[in-house]
Amino acid sequence: MDDLYGDLDTSTQALAKTELQQEKQRVEKENDKLKTELAELQLQNRLLGERTKALETNISTLFVTAQHELKRKDAEIQRLREALTKAERRDSARSDHQSHRRYHESRGDSPSRRSGHSHR
């Protein structure tokens, strides 16, 4: 009887071996696919890291430039305010002088009489 069922054991082993080989091929194929995907993701990660670093550098440079520009504009505003104040004082003094002159002219005072000199 051993002869009758002796081949059955071999057939079962051959079937199991074939299934294991197919499973091994499937796993190896999936492993290769995952390795490729991993390499692509690592490359993408490296590129994104480089891009992030470049963006950080750019934003830092932009921030420093903006700070310098704000300081420059603040200085320009201060300069213009000072120039305006100076011009307003000058105009006010000129206006006061003209008002003073008109006052004396309306009274009939001549510049020489005001200074105490006569034209003789």
Note the Cα 89 to chain centre separation in Å: 43
Q: Is the dihedral of CA 79, 85, 90, 94 positive or negative?
A: positive
Q: What is the pLDDT of residues 11-47, one digit of tens each?
A: 778 888 899 999 999 999 999 999 999 999 999 999 9
**Phi and psi at residue 85, to the nearest 5°:** -60, -45
Token reading at 90: 């000058």
Token reading at 6: 């002796």
What is the pTM for the complete model shown? Answer: 0.52
Q: What is the pLDDT of residues 66-118, one digit of tens each?
A: 999 999 999 999 999 999 999 999 988 888 777 777 877 777 766 555 555 54
